[in-house]
Amino acid sequence: MPLTSDARRRRPSAVVAALAVLGGLLVAAGGPASEADRPTTSVRTSDVVRMRASAPIVLTGPGSASTGSRVRLRGDVVTTLVRSAAGKRARPRPVHLLERVGGRWKQVARTNSSRSGAFAFRVAAGNAATTRTFRAEAPASRGRAKVRSRTVRVTMTATAVDAGAWETLAPGTMVAPEPLPADYQPAPPASDWSYLFDEGSRWNPCAPVRWAYNPDQQTYDGAFADVVRAYARISAASGLQFQYAGRTAAGYRGADADITGASVDLVVSWATAAQFPKLSGTVVGVGGGTGRSTLDADVRWRMVLGYLVLDAEPGMPIAPGFDGSGWGQIMQHEILHALGLGHAVTPTQLMYGAATARNARFGAGDLTGMTRIGSGSGCLS
């Protein structure tokens, strides 16, 4: 699933560059510049996510679950378009969950997908400490052939696992960082990263980034939990703090005014291509923001507003969660754009312009980039 930019990273105009030089001269001649002396020029840009379907049906689940709990398995399937008086419309599709038992596949649950193709199952973990194997199937339907997902293995353990840790988050709560494993080995090179804006861009790390979520049109039930977890992973790697401000009705549609009324730093929302044309074709996510010029810092632009817009009608199966390439990968990629990072050039980096199984997790360049926009780079004013 390729991730590509819909526009080049824009260089500041000649006027902006001249203002920057003038500001430096004022500092040299008359001491530190006052707030009124600072250039007020700002810039805005974004990057988009494109995706190609890798399978007609996908299924994901947790790697482990505690005995006595319930296991949540989620997925996506290609749906069928049917004609009606209102035109073509996607039709929900039946989906069956099967488990490998005694050398045979046994159906253990069934459901119908949403019109966008999302589906979910909850099954009892049982009391035995064992590994269970599942797969999802969608029967042939209205010209669509029967499709079958890859298998998903879930290890049931006696150790308590807080499976719902990412499902709920009260407004005002700081997102708890999720550190990488101690033996984590990121793919090289560590030098492969870039800023979203030329001359550098990042948030002020000495204040938490306040974000809000608009659930309208989200394509699957666990979407909010995946967004929270994306922030948690980025927080651990960068040192940035993220405070959940609550739900909002705002959503970015091409102008800062769309989200400034939310009174937060960053807004996550969903939209269709009809509502936000940048989501047309294979684009499934857009992330970006606005930067304001700053002085006496390692970067030229201090990020002051950010947004993430996800495709409510992707038209292809996209796996929920972080077990391989899917929505979790897309969310992390676009949040990092909103935080000031640009694309990488190596296919093994999460910030590379195409999302595949090779770059579904942070590479060494991604980690370097997050360090450069993170808490260790110092406060910005």
Residue 328 has pLDDT above 50, yes or no: yes
What distances in angstroms separate CA 361 from CA 43, 58, 345, 350, one per listed residue? 29, 18, 15, 6
Q: Give the pLDDT confidence of 195-231 residue by residue, as tens digits.
A: 999 999 999 999 999 999 999 999 998 899 999 999 9
CB 206 within 8 A of CB 261: no
- What single letter denotes the amino acid at residue 80? T
Distance CA 227, CA 320 (A): 11
Q: What band does 143 get if pLDDT is binned at 50, 70 and 90? A: confident
Dig out the tokens for 11 from the structure.
């260089």
> Where does CATH 3.40.390.10 sit in the chain?
14-53+166-377
Q: Which long-range contacts (CB under 8 A, 24 or more apart) does 238-241 make?
A: 238/205, 238/339, 238/370, 238/371, 238/373, 238/374, 238/375, 239/205, 239/374, 239/375, 239/376, 240/203, 240/205, 240/209, 240/339, 240/373, 240/374, 240/375, 241/174, 241/175, 241/205, 241/208, 241/209
Which residue blocks in 305-361 are alpha helix, DSSP H?
327-338
Q: How long, in residues, is the chain?
A: 381
Rg (CA), the chain: 22
Architecture of domain 14-53+166-377: 3-Layer(aba) Sandwich (3.40)
Q: What band does 87 get if pLDDT is binned at 50, 70 and 90? A: low
Q: Give the pLDDT confidence of 241-265 residue by residue, as tens digits.
A: 999 999 999 999 999 999 999 999 9
Bigger pLDDT: 174 vs 88 = 174
Distance CA 344, CA 242 (A): 24
CA torsion angle 10 15 21 23 (round to 10): -110
Q: What band does 168 get if pLDDT is binned at 50, 70 and 90? A: confident
User: Nearest CA to 76 among 57, 89, 92, 96?
Assistant: 57
CB 111 within 8 A of CB 91: no
Domain 63-157 in CATH 3.65.10.10:
no
pTM: 0.68
Tell me the range of 124-133, 289-298, 332-341 where mean pLDDT is highest.
332-341
User: Nearest CA to 305 among 248, 257, 242?
Assistant: 257
Q: Give the pLDDT confidence of 21-60 residue by residue, as tens digits.
A: 222 222 222 333 333 444 446 677 777 656 655 678 999 8
> Where does CATH 2.60.40.10 sit in the chain?
63-157
Dig out the tokens for 245 from the structure.
């401000």
Averaged pLDDT, 344-363: 92
Residue 13 has pLDDT above 50, yes or no: no
Tokens 């390439």 correspond to: 325
Share of the chain above pLDDT 70, in %: 82
How much is the mean pLDDT over the chain?
A: 83
